[in-house]
Structure 1
């Protein structure tokens, strides 16, 4: 079977360490790029390492997801700014659950959801603890854990083994570029993108597999 070559984002959009956009007051901002809340700018609190996924990466990802968003139940793990989950809500997702363990960041995300009047709920707990609770089924999952902490592979297994995924779920996983790993058996690689230090992979879960 032919595999698509990973898409590469140009240097101007790629660094995971790139500072987020700043307003004149010095506070960071997240700009939504499509859908109902297009061009809305939301404040981001100062927190080490916190940054939204770059616009060009989000644009590519959501072009891939064009027919996989409307009416979907979304789970955004290690959500940080909530850029991916909020973008999905802007583009017609039915509801989104955000999991962010850093309390001030989670509180800011809750405020931004309220500002938008969007159907989102934030859990301010570690992802591992959240996934140890009784599960709900999600159609679309975003997973962007801190790099080089051994979190991505375990979290993917917890999602699959914990029965969190709809039979035809779509999962986006972003990891450090050098990480070699194999996804759970039912997940089939659909697209991938390389952006600086990160490697994003979009998987489709095959119903009836596993």
Structure 2
């Protein structure tokens, strides 16, 4: 029995050795296959991906050689760095120019009422700039006109009224205000392409001068900061201000508090704020020391709140509107607006 047991142990050890040898052989074969596959990739498909790396290495080497040669010739390294920086800036400018040339415009917007009624305005294609829709804009101005006591509901009662259009985009709101009798509008837009190819052209198409329609190519934050102490550089405080930012790219509470404290708002200024449904909790009944909410209307997916400073005599907010914004109407029909504007705004 003892001899039979020893034979069994020998057989088990032989099986284990064979298994280990077989596993080792399999691992070696897998390694060889992987190496062969990598070599094949390098020889065929991967050449296209390796060539840019080789070209980049060659370009870097040539650049270093050029720098060393220029230094040997006595050119200061500081000057070489400045030249390299300027070269990079030119390349960046050219790339940006190509991107801008790919952006296009179309004429799908019109002035709703007033002197320039039905005049067409340029608007950028795509979702980068989303202007307030015509029906929403018309209903908003009708609401403001009713609040300030306009007899015609089209023309501003005070012909010396001035409008500040923040996040102007196409300038549709400020131009609508001028069509309805505002003597002057200021437009604040930070995108140079939009100001040059859309806003400036819209102003020119209506025959307005730079003294009547002033464009500030700046962010709203920078514009408010530059007029933090005085509104003299902007010609004084404004009678009306529109605040229609890209919904989710700015802090509504922070900017509205800055507006409340800004000298750009007089004691009688009316502020129009466009916002999305999710931002309704940020639209308080009062903001800061001066602004109080008068109206809060819904236009489809777009919401518009109207605030006024304490110095203007206007009716208080209706509790029904404060509790639940009602569907706005114009010409007896419910105004629908919004569309994709919950994602991107003007």
TM-score, length-normalised on structure 1?
A: 0.80
Segment of structure 1 superposing worse, 86-95 or 188-197: 188-197
Q: Which has the higher contact order (CA 8 A, sep 6+)?
A: 1
Deviating beyond 6 angstroms after TM superposition, the runs of 4 or more aligned structure 1 residues are none
Is the CA contact 1:74–1:141 (under 8 Å) kept in the aligned structure 2? yes
Quick check: 1:89 aligned with 2:168? no
Q: 1:184 & 1:172 partners in 2: Cα distance?
A: 16
Alignment coverage as a number of residue pairs: 184
Quick check: 1:125 aligned with 2:211? no
The 5 A counterparts of 1:1-210 are: 27-46=106-125, 48-66=127-145, 67=150, 69=156, 70-107=159-196, 108-118=198-208, 119-134=212-227, 135=231, 136-179=236-279, 180-181=281-282, 182=284, 183-207=287-311
Residues 1:187 and 1:44: Cα distance change in structure 2 (over 3 Å): same
Whichever structure has more helix as a proportion of its residues is 2
Is the CA contact 2:105–2:123 (under 8 Å) kept in the aligned structure 1? no
Is the CA contact 1:75–1:141 (under 8 Å) kept in the aligned structure 2? yes
Residues 1:65 and 1:95: Cα distance change in structure 2 (over 3 Å): same
Measure how far apart 1:176 and its partner are.
1.6
Residues 1:47 and 1:190: Cα distance change in structure 2 (over 3 Å): same
Q: Which runs of 5+ in 1 are unaligned?
A: 1-24
Measure how far apart 1:46 and its partner are.
2.9
Measure how far apart 1:26 and its partner are.
7.5
Q: Which has the larger radius of gyration?
A: 2
Q: 2:192 & 2:131 partners in 1: Cα distance?
A: 17
| Aligned-residue CA RMSD (Å) | 2.0
Q: Which runs of 5+ in 2 are unaligned?
A: 1-103, 313-346
Whichever structure has more strand as a proportion of its residues is 1
